[in-house]
C-alpha cells in the first residue's frame, strides 16, 4: 500500500549555481578512473595489469573475499596505471580510452522471465552488482542475502541537486527493466519514492512492479535513508538494498542490450561555473572535458557529488562511481577582515540556520557560499540545532556522542543500524562544534560491522 509522508524537520540550503535543463552531446572521456574506495569495505584483487587491453565490461578487479563481486571497465582501451598506496593498497585503476566503445557482449536477457539465481549470476559477471548498496553499514550488497525491501529515490533534495526527471527523460524502457530486475532480487517490495511537492515525469509516475510512495518536506526528503526510516524502518538483523535512480536505468539498459553501457547524464553545478548544464558521459569519467575553461576564477574547490556529501577532487580528476553531479564552489581558505567579513561583520553575505545573520529575512534568496567552516573543532556542546534538521525518530546528538566514544551498546540502542554518513550531512553543516560528523558515523559503522555483524 502506497504511503504519503510529510516531514516537519530539515533544511533547504539555497545556493547559486543550479544547472540549466540543457544537455550537451555525449562526450567519451579520454580516460576513466575506478577507485576501490568508492566501494567501502571491499578489498580489491586485480584481474588486469598495466598495459593490458580491455573492453567495456571486462573485469578490472574483484572482491578478494567475495570473488563473484566484480568491478568492470566502463570504457574500452588500455590500462594506463594501477596506483597503489601504503602496503600496496590499490588507490585507483586508470584506463585510457581507445577512442571508441567496444563492448564485451554477454547477450540480452529479459528480467521478467529469468530466474533469480540466473539474474544474479548475470549481474555479477557483468559488473552490475556494484550499483546495489546494502543497509545497514552502506556497503556493496552481499549477493548471498535477500533483502526485506529495495528502495529507489526518484528525486534529490540536496543543494544544487540534479533533476532526475530531466536526466531520465526518454529512458522509460530501460528504467522499467531495471525495476523488474530489482523486484526479482527481493521477496519484499521495491519502493519508488516520488517528490510529494511536485509532479514527477512519466518515467517515474508510470513505473510498474513497484510501490510508489510520496514524501514532501525540506532536505533530506530526497535521501533514501529518510525514506526508509519513514516507510519501512530497518531493525537489527534486517537488510535493505538501495539503488540510485540513474543506476537503475543503467542496470536495465545493460540487461536489455547485453552490453555494459554506463552512459549517463551528470549535472555541472556551482556558483563558479560559467556554463552550467547537463553533460552526457560514462561512469568514473575524467571531468577535465567539462570543467576546462568553464570555471570563474582560480581559487575554487571541485567536488564530485553535492556540496554536503561530495568528495573534493582536482580539476583534472574523475567522477566518483555513484556521482551524478559535479559542484564547483569558492574555496574558503582566504583570510577575512574581522570587521567586514569576519566574526564582527554584519553578515549580509552569510547564511545561518540559527538566524545569526540578517539574511534570514530573505530565506528564498540564493547565496554564493564558500567552503570556509568559520572555525575549528571545539568542545561538543548541546545547542538543539541538530534536532531541527534531523527528520528521524532518533536522538542525533546522543548517537554522535556514542559514535565518538565507541559505545557499541549506546549506538545500537540509539539507532545506528538505520543511518549512514549522508544522513548526518545537515547535522554536520549546522554543528556549532565544527565536528566532522560524517567521518565519525562512518568509523562507528565500521566498528559495528566488525563487532556485531
CA dihedral in degrees (129, 127, 223, 153; nearest 10)?
Answer: -80
Average pLDDT for residues 214-242, to the nearest whole number? 96
Is residue 147 classed exposed, middle or buried when 0-12, 13-18 and 19+ CB atoms within 10 A define those classes? buried
Average pLDDT for residues 92-104, to the nearest whole number? 95
At 179, the pLDDT band (50, 70, 90 cuts) reads: very high
**Cell 549580509 maps to which residue?**
348
Q: Which residues, at least 6 apart from 15, have a Cβ–Cβ distance to it below 8 Å?
A: 159, 160, 270, 271, 307, 366, 367, 368, 369
Pairing verdict, β 149-153 and 139-140: unpaired
Alpha-carbon torsion (348, 351, 355, 356), positive or negative: negative
Confidence at residue 377, expressed as pLDDT on a 0 to 100 scale: 87
147: pLDDT strictly greater than 80: yes
361: pLDDT strictly greater than 80: no
Average pLDDT for residues 158-168, to the nearest whole number? 96
In which region does residue 183 sit, left (phi positive, over 0), alpha (psi from -120 to 50) or beta (all else)? alpha
**Residues 392, 400 contacting (CB under 8 angstroms):** no
**Residues 434, 373 contacting (CB under 8 angstroms):** yes
Confidence at residue 349, expressed as pLDDT on a 0 to 100 scale: 72
196: pLDDT strictly greater than 70: yes
Instruction: Tell whether pTM > 0.85.
Output: yes
Confidence at residue 364, expressed as pLDDT on a 0 to 100 scale: 78
At 453, the pLDDT band (50, 70, 90 cuts) reads: confident
Q: Which residues, at least 6 apart from 38, have a Cβ–Cβ distance to it below 8 Å?
A: 320, 321, 322
**CA gyration radius for the chain?**
22
**Cell 540543457 maps to which residue?**
22
Higher pLDDT, 338 or 6: 6
341: pLDDT strictly greater than 90: no
343: pLDDT strictly greater than 70: no
The angle formed by the CA atoms of residues 292, 297 and 303, to the nearest 5 degrees, is 60
Higher pLDDT, 335 or 425: 425
Confidence at residue 448, expressed as pLDDT on a 0 to 100 scale: 95
Amino acid at each position: 500500500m502506497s504511503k504519503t509522508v510529510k516531514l516537519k524537520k530539515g533544511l533547504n540550503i539555497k545556493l547559486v549555481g543550479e544547472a540549466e535543463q540543457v544537455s550537451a552531446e555525449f562526450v567519451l572521456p579520454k580516460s576513466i578512473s575506478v577507485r576501490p574506495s568508492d566501494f567501502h569495505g571491499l578489498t580489491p584483487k586485480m584481474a588486469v595489469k598495466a598495459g593490458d587491453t580491455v573492453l567495456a565490461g571486462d573485469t578490472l578487479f574483484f572482491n578478494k573475499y567475495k570473488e563473484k563481486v566484480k568491478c568492470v571497465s566502463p570504457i574500452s582501451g588500455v590500462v594506463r596505471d594501477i596506483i597503489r598506496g601504503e602496503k600496496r593498497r590499490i588507490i585507483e585503476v586508470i584506463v585510457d580510452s581507445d577512442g571508441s566503445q567496444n563492448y564485451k557482449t554477454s547477450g540480452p536477457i529479459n528480467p521478467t522471465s529469468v530466474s533469480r539465481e540466473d539474474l544474479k549470476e548475470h549481474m555479477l559477471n557483468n559488473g552490475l552488482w556494484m550499483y546495489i548498496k546494502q543497509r545497514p553499514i552502506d556497503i556493496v550488497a552481499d549477493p548471498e542475502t535477500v533483502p526485506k525491501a529495495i528502495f529507489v529515490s526518484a528525486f534529490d533534495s540536496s543543494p544544487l541537486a540534479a533533476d532526475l526527471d530531466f536526466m531520465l527523460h526518454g529512458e522509460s524502457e530501460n528504467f522499467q527493466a531495471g525495476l523488474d530486475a530489482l523486484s526479482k532480487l527481493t521477496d519484499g517490495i521495491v519502493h519508488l519514492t516520488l517528490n510529494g511537492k511536485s509532479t514527477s515525469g512519466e518515467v517515474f509516475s508510470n513505473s510498474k512492479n513497484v510501490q510508489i510512495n510520496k514524501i514532501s518536506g525540506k532536505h533530506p526528503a530526497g535521501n533514501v535513508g529518510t525514506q526508509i526510516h519513514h516507510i519501512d524502518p530497518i531493525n537489527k538483523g534486517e537488510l535493505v538494498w538501495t539503488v540510485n535512480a540513474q543506476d537503475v536505468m543503467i542496470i536495465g539498459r545493460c540487461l536489455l542490450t547485453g552490453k555494459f553501457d554506463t552512459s549517463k547524464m551528470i549535472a555541472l553545478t556551482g556558483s563558479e561555473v560559467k556554463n552550467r548544464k547537463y553533460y552526457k558521459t560514462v561512469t568514473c569519467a575524467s571531468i577535465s572535458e567539462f570543467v576546462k575553461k568553464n570555471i570563474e576564477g582560480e581559487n575554487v574547490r571541485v567536488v564530485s557529488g553535492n556540496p554536503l556529501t561530495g568528495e573534493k577532487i582536482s580539476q583534472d580528476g574523475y567522477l566518483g562511481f555513484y556521482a551524478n553531479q559535479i559542484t564547483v564552489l569558492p574555496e574558503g581558505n582566504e583570510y577575512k577582515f574581522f570587521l567586514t567579513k569576519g566574526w564582527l561583520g554584519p553578515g549580509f553575505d552569510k547564511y545561518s540556520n540559527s538566524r545569526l545573520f540578517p539574511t534570514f529575512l530573505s530565506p528564498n534568496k540564493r547565496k554564493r557560499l564558500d567552503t570556509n567552516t568559520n572555525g575549528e573543532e571545539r568542545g561538543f556542546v548541546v545547542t538543539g540545532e541538530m534536532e531541527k534538521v534531523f527528520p528521524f525518530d532518533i536522538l542525533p546528538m546522543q548517537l554522535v556522542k556514542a559514535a565518538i566514544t565507541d559505545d557499541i551498546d549506546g549506538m545500537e540502542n540509539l539507532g545506528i543500524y538505520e543511518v549512514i554518513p549522508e544522513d548526518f550531512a545537515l547535522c554536520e553543516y549546522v554543528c556549532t562544534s565544527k565536528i566532522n560528523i560524517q567521518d565519525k558515523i562512518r568509523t562507528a559503522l565500521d566498528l559495528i560491522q566488525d563487532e556485531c555483524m
